[in-house]
Amino acid sequence: MDRATVLAAERRRLRWRARRGLLENDLLITRFLDRHEEGLSGEDIAAFDRLLDLPDNELLDLLLERVPVPARIDTDPMRSLLARLRAS
């Protein structure tokens, strides 16, 4: 399987995994994916996966900039992804 096919499959998996228990998270993440899904790199997808590991309330607080990025996930790709999510 070529890299483009693998990335496309990872993007589809990411969209499925992005379905959350909080409507607010669903709306923010779905809006972002609708606009930017095709342009997500492998590094972006990996950061998004780590973001989606967070509990719903922690994720929402992070998306709304109520809390700083936790040290355990504070990387350049994560900060870049969060900036794009918040701007969408």
The string of pLDDT tens digits covering residues 3-54 is 778 778 888 888 888 887 788 998 899 899 999 988 888 899 999 999 999 9
Q: How far apart are CA 81 and CA 88, in angstroms?
A: 11
The first and second tokens of residue 41, run together, are: 């790199």
Max Cα distance, the chain (Å): 41
pTM for this one?
0.82
SS (H, E, C) 15-64: HHHCCCCCHHHHHHHHHHHHHHHHHCCHHHHHHHHHHHCCCHHHHHHHHC
